[in-house]
Structure 1
Amino acid sequence: MTSIMTNGAAMAALQTLRSINYNMEEVQSRISSGYRVETAADNAAYWSIATTMRSDNAALSTVQDALGLGAAKVDTSYAGMSNAIDVISEIKAKLVAAREPGVDKTKINKEIAELKNQLVSSAESASFSGENWLYNSSTTPAATKSIVASFNRSTDGSVSVSTLDYDTAVSILIDTEDASLGQLTKGVEVAQPNGATAPTTANATYYLINAGSTTTAAGTEIVLYSTTTDDILDGMISAADAMLTALTDSAATLGAIQSRIDMQENFVANLMDVIDKGVGRLVDADMNEESTRLKALQTQQQLGIQALSIANTNSENILRLFQQ
C-alpha cells in the first residue's frame, strides 16, 4: 500500500541515518581525545581502574621527587664524609712525620691546626635543604632521618608509604652541644706505650677537635708541642687511625644508602612506565581501527542520505499520477 500520510521508506532511511551519525560522533570523539574510554559512561569498570592507577602514578611521581631530594642529601653528606676521611688521613700522616727525630713538632702542629679547620668547614658546609648529617649544633641529638621510598597499594585496596631510614648519629662529625656525640669531638680510648723503655702500655683518651661543646669531651686534644713524647705520639696516631676507621664505616653506610636510592629510583621509574602502559591498554583508542571505522561510516552516511532522498521521491511520483 502506498500512503501519502506515512512514508515508511523515508522513516527507515532516517532511522538508519541517525544510527550512522551517532556512531560517527562516537568515533570522532575517540579520534579527537585519543581515548576509547574517556568517561565512566563509556565503560565504568575500565574507567574506574584507569582513574585509580593514574592517581597512584601521580603519587609515585611525588615519590620520585622525594627520592631525588633524599639522594641529594645523601650525596652531600657523602661528599663531606669523603673529604673528612682524606683530611684525617693527612693528619695521621703528619703525626707519623712528627715521630721522626729532630722534626719541629710545633710547625707540624700548625699544619694539623689548619687541617682541623678544614674538617670543621667541611662538616658545617655539608648541608642540603636545611639538613646537615655531619654537623650538629642543636640541643636535640641527631636522629634517624627517613626518605620516602615507595607508594604501595595492597590487594585489599589499602595504601601505605615505605621509607628508607638512616641514623645520622653514626655520621655526625662535630657536635657543639655534646662532644661525646661527634666522631671527631668525642674522646677515643687507645692503648699507649707507657714509658720509653718499659714494655707496658696504658690506656689514653684523645679527641681531635675542640668545638667548644657545652658538654666537653673526656681526654686530651690531639695537639703537638715541642715536648710531646714519642709514646704520646704513638697514642695520638692510634686515636687518629681509630677515628679514620669509624669514618670509613660511616661512609660505607652512606654509600649503601646511595646505592639503594639509585635502585629504588630506577624501579619507580620503570613501575610508572608499566602502569602508564597498562592504563593505555584499557582506555586508549586504536587509531588505526578508529580511522578505518570513520571512513566506513562516512561512506554509510553518504549512502543513507541517498536512500533518504530516494524515499522522499515516492510522494512526488504519486503526485504525477494526478497530473493531466
Structure 2
Amino acid sequence: MTSILTNSAAMAALQTLRSINTNMEDVQSRISSGYRVETAADNAAYWSIATTMRSDNAALSTVQDALGLGAAKVDTSYAGMSSAIEVVSEIKAKLVAAREPGVDKTKINKELNELKNQLASAAESASFSGENWLYNDTTTPAGIKSIVASFNRSTNGSVSVTTLDYDTAESILIDTQDSSLGQLTKGVAVEQGAAVGTGTANATYHLVLAAGGTAPTGSVLIDLTSATPDDDIEGMISAVDKMLSNLTDAASTLGAITSRIDMQENFVANLMDVIDKGVGRLVDADMNEESTRLKALQTQQQLGIQALSIANTNSENILRLFQQ
C-alpha cells in the first residue's frame, strides 16, 4: 500500500537516523571529555565509585602536604639535636682536659660558658612553623606532637586519619619553666669519688641554667673554678656522658621518624597513582575505540540520510502518476 498521508519508509529511515545521531552525540561527548562515564546518568554505580575515590585522592594529596610539613619539623629538630650532640661532645672533651694536672680551669670554664650559650642558641633556633621540639618556654609541658600520616577508608565506608606521634619530652633540651623537663637543664645523678662502682649516686649535676629558670633541687651547675676538685670534675664528666647518651637516643628516634615519613610519602604517592589508574579503568573513554566508532557512525549517518532521501521520493513518484 502506498499512502501520501503516511510514509512508513520515511518514518523508519528517520527513526534510524535519529538513533544514529544520538549515538554520535554520545561518542562525540566521550571524545571531547575523555570520559566514558562523565555523569551519574551514564553509569550510576561507576560514577559513584569514581567520585568517592577522587575525593579520597584529594584527601591523600592533603596528607602528602601534611607529611611534608611534618618532615620539615622533624628535620629541623634533628638538625638542632645533631648540633647539640656535637657541642656536648666538645664540653665533655673540655672537662676531660680540665682533669689534667696544671691546666688553667678558669680558662676552660670560659670555653664551657660559650659552648653552653651555643647550646641555648641551637635549641631556641630549632623552630619551624611555630613549633620547637627542643626548647620550651611556656608553662605547658612539652607533649606529644602528631603528624598526619594517612587517610583510610574501611570496608563499611567509614573514614579515619592515622597520625605519626612523637613525644617531644624526649627531645626537649631546655625548659625555662620546669628545669626537670629539659635534657640539659635537669639534674643527672652520678657516682663520684669513693662512691664510684657502688651503685649509689652521691652527686647531681645539670649543664645549663635557663634564663629566668631555677636550678633543679639538689643539683649543681657544671662549672669550673680553679679550686674544683678532681672528683667533682670526674662526676661532671660522667653526668655529661649520660646527657650525651640521652641526646643520642633522642636523635636516633628523630632519625627513625624521618625514615618513616619518607617511606609513608612514597607509599601515599604510589597509592594515589594506583587510585587514579583504577578510576580511569572505570570511567575513562578508550579513545581508539571511540574514534573507530565515530567513523562507523558517520558512515551510518550518511547512509541514513540517503535512505531518508530515497523514502521521501516515493511521494514524488505518486505525483508523476497523476501527471500522466
Q: TM-score, normalised by structure 1?
A: 0.96
Find out whether 1:245 has 2:231 as its counterpart: no
Change (3 A) 1:320 1:186: same
Q: Which residue of 1 aligns with 2:153?
A: 153
Q: Which residue of 2 aligns with 1:120?
A: 120
Q: Which residue of 2 aligns with 1:15?
A: 15
Q: Which residue of 2 aligns with 1:210?
A: 209
1:262-273 matched pairs, under 5 angstroms:
262-273=262-273
Q: Which residue of 2 aligns with 1:104?
A: 104
1:54-73 matched pairs, under 5 angstroms:
54-73=54-73
Superposed CA offset, 1:202-221 (max 9, x none): 61111100114544313111
1:150-229 matched pairs, under 5 angstroms:
150-194=150-194, 203-218=202-217, 219-229=219-229
Distance across 1 between alignment mates of 2:3 and 2:80: 97
Distance across 2 between alignment mates of 1:6 and 1:57: 58
Deviation for aligned residue 1:98: 1.2
Superposed CA offset, 1:51-92 (max 9, x none): 111111111111111111111111110110000000000110
Distance across 1 between alignment mates of 2:307 and 2:201: 112
Distance across 1 between alignment mates of 2:167 and 2:145: 6
Distance across 2 between alignment mates of 1:278 and 1:4: 57
Deviation for aligned residue 1:322: 2.0
Find out whether 1:281 has 2:278 as its counterpart: no
Superposed CA offset, 1:149-180 (max 9, x none): 11111111111111111110010000000101
Tell me the SS of whatever aligns to 1:30: helix
Change (3 A) 1:202 1:217: closer
Q: Which residue of 2 aligns with 1:77?
A: 77
Q: Which residue of 1 aligns with 2:321?
A: 321
Q: Which residue of 2 aligns with 1:232?
A: 232
Distance across 1 between alignment mates of 2:159 and 2:315: 69
Identity of aligned residues (%): 84
Q: Kindly report structure 1 stretches of 4+ aligned residues shifted beyond 3 Å.
A: 198-202, 212-215
CA contact (8 A) 1:194 1:202 kept: no
Tell me the SS of whatever aligns to 1:26: helix
Q: Which residue of 1 aligns with 2:46?
A: 46
Tell me the SS of whatever aligns to 2:121: helix
Deviates further, 200-209 or 139-148:
200-209
Q: What RMSD, in angstroms, separates the aligned Cα atoms of the two structures?
A: 1.6
Distance across 1 between alignment mates of 2:238 and 2:277: 59
Tell me the SS of whatever aligns to 1:298: helix
Q: Letter of the aligned partner of 2:51 in structure 1?
A: T
Tell me the SS of whatever aligns to 1:155: coil
Deviates further, 221-230 or 22-31:
221-230
Distance across 2 between alignment mates of 1:129 and 1:170: 20
Superposed CA offset, 1:134-161 (max 9, x none): 0000001111111111111111111111
Tell me the SS of whatever aligns to 2:202: strand
Distance across 1 between alignment mates of 2:312 and 2:197: 124
Q: Which residue of 2 aligns with 1:31?
A: 31
Tell me the SS of whatever aligns to 2:177: coil
Deviation for aligned residue 1:261: 1.0
Q: Letter of the aligned partner of 1:19 in structure 2?
A: S
Change (3 A) 1:214 1:102: closer
Q: Letter of the aligned partner of 1:300 in structure 2?
A: Q
Deviates further, 286-295 or 53-62:
53-62
Distance across 1 between alignment mates of 2:96 and 2:197: 20
Distance across 2 between alignment mates of 1:146 and 1:295: 57
Change (3 A) 1:91 1:56: same
The count of residues paired between Structure 1 and Structure 2 equals: 322
**Where in structure 1 are there 5+ consecutive unaligned residues?**
none
CA contact (8 A) 2:191 2:197 kept: no
Distance across 2 between alignment mates of 1:199 and 1:12: 107
CA contact (8 A) 2:80 2:126 kept: yes
Distance across 2 between alignment mates of 1:25 and 1:11: 21
Q: TM-score, normalised by structure 2?
A: 0.96
